[in-house]
Amino acid sequence: MLKQDTPESKVVTLLEQAKKFNFVAVCINSVWIPLAKKMLAGTNVKICTVVGFPLGAIPAECKAFETRHAVKNGADEIDMVINIGFLKDKKYTEVLHDIYSVVKAAGSKCVKVIIECCLLTEQEKIKACELCVAAGANYVKTSTGFSKGGATLEDVFLMKETVGDKAKVKAAGGIRTYKDAVKFIWAGADRIGTSGGHNIYKP
């Protein structure tokens, strides 16, 4: 639930669905963390928030601040967006610093790195995944869902092949059905990010 026009009522509905279906986590903008912490108390549902979202084009220091603030307020997981322009310019040291700044700020919390596959070449996807592993990220993630494309099976295959057992893969963006979710899991996704989890869920 990351759209900019989201009212509190929709966040409440999401949190209620997460409790009902025992989802791993809810992914929300950081302003809603206090509400989520209150509503999810006593459950196993984790609170995930986004950093540098959705463009990634802010200084690493700002992403680190966002991360520390989110963790202090109750976030269990961080989904950050890399600096895609830096990656395309082959400024790999800067991209590594960008990711590591968030990993360090998150401490023991899970960090998932969104590389926005739809904007990258195959070699750029591979390099992005390698940098995520080098920086100590827990996951590489396909998409924000806010660009020109979402997750593809081909991207998940490639990402899983690249990171191996050194990181996990989260497929997100455009996954709406149970059949699609199963395909992405088969392709190597360890986690599915979707706004339609309540429709996908099957007991």
Which residue among the candidates 109, 141, 160, 168 is catalytic per the annotation? Answer: 141
Is 79 a member of any domain?
yes
Which residue among the candidates 46, 76, 79, 98 is catalytic per the annotation? Answer: 79
Percent of the chain, pLDDT > 70?
Answer: 100
Which residue among the candidates 46, 112, 170, 180 is catalytic per the annotation? Answer: 170
Q: What is the DSSP secondary structure assignment for residue 140, as one 8-state letter?
A: E
Q: What is the number of structural domains in the chain?
A: 1
CATH of the domain at 113: 3.20.20.70
Q: Which amino acid is at 60?
A: A
Contact residues for 3 (Cβ-Cβ < 8 A; gap 6+): none
Confidence of residue 198 (pLDDT cuts 50, 70, 90): confident
Whether pTM > 0.85 for this model: the answer is: yes
pLDDT digit string, tens, across residues 30-84: 999 999 999 999 999 999 999 999 999 999 999 999 999 999 999 999 999 999 9
DSSP string, 141-187: E---SSSS----HHHHHHHHHHHTTSSEEEEESS--SHHHHHHHHHH
The whole-number pLDDT of residue 201 equals 83
Examine the residue annotation and report whether 141 is marked as an active-site residue of this protein: yes
Is 2 a member of any domain?
no
Provide the edge-to-edge strand list for the sheet that holds 191-193: 25-28, 46-51, 77-81, 110-114, 139-141, 168-172, 191-193
pLDDT digit string, tens, across residues 18-32: 999 999 999 999 999
Give the whole-angstrom CA distance, residue 180 versus residue 152: 10
Examine the residue annotation and report whether 79 is marked as an active-site residue of this protein: yes
The whole-number pLDDT of residue 199 equals 87
Q: What is the DSSP secondary structure assignment for residue 139, as one 8-state letter?
A: E
Is 35 a member of any domain?
yes
**SS3 category, 76:** coil
Is 155 a member of any domain?
yes
pLDDT digit string, tens, across residues 154-183: 999 999 999 999 999 999 999 999 999 999
Is 102 a member of any domain?
yes
The whole-number pLDDT of residue 203 equals 60
The domain in which residue 143 lies consists of 8-200
Is 3 a member of any domain?
no
Is 108 a member of any domain?
yes
Count the Cβ atoms, other than its own, within 10 Å of residue 168.
Answer: 19
**What is the average pLDDT score of the chain?**
97
Is 1 a member of any domain?
no
Give the whole-angstrom CA distance, residue 197 versus residue 55: 24
Quick check: 102 pLDDT over 70?
yes
